[in-house]
Amino acid sequence: MKNNKAIKLISNLLNILLFAVLLLMIFVVISSKASGGEPNIFGYQLKSVLSGSMEPTFKTGSIIAINPNFDVNQLEIDDIITYKKDQNTVVTHRITEVLNNAGQLMFRTKGDNNEDSDLNPIMSQNVIGKYTGFTIPFVGYLVQFADSRNGSIAMLIIPGLLLLGYSGLTIWRAISEIEGKTKDKSVQH
């Protein structure tokens, strides 16, 4: 009897876990598609780390959270910022120097793993967020995959199929158990 309760509990937990994974995958795919890139959660943008320039602070393939609602005038040396290097390139590096060039606020940056500072100072209007200190290793690979067409399809279909398969197995077991009890009652009479 205790064995059946334990199996039922594990079964319910697995069902909940699969459903949660499906919901998470749906959220990641929809959020990344809606934002045109990385997802947003509670006002923070999640960015995938695509290079090792900031190791060991965060590893390649990690996901980091940046705050897009910050006061650029409050940024200081050692803050980590995300900025647009050009139209298609977003970089996250540490501020090494704050410059004021004829009233124009600019920042000199450097990747923690780079020997030299970045060539050009970053204009304050190109800064899109400040790193919050929140990092999850390896999830960036998943977000990048979800951003692709095949990844979006796989991220929705695979957990859904797993959930359907597990539900089918659960139903099959329940029917087998009912049939077994019915056979036992007919044998006893």
Higher pLDDT, 185 or 163: 163
Catalytic residue among 35, 51, 148, 167: 51
User: What digits encode the pLDDT tens for the residues 55-108?
Assistant: 999 888 888 889 999 999 999 999 999 999 988 889 999 999 999 988 899 999
Q: Is the pTM of this model over 0.75?
A: no
Residue 142 has pLDDT above 60, yes or no: yes
Residue 111 has pLDDT above 70, yes or no: yes
Query: For this structure, is 117 an active site residue?
Result: no
Per-position DSSP letters for the chain, written without gaps between them: -HHHHHHHHHHHHHHHHHHHHHHHHHHHHHHHHHHTSS-EETTEEEEE--SSTTTTTS-TT-EEEEESS--GGG--TT-EEEEEEETTEEEEEEEEEEEEETTEEEEEEE-TT-SS--SSPEEGGGEEEEEEEEEETTHHHHHHHHHSHHHHHHHHHHHHHHHHHHHHHHHHHHHHHHHHHHHHHHHH-
Task: Give all domains of the chain, ordered by start, each with its CATH number.
Answer: 38-145 (2.10.109.10)
Residue 188 has a pLDDT of 60
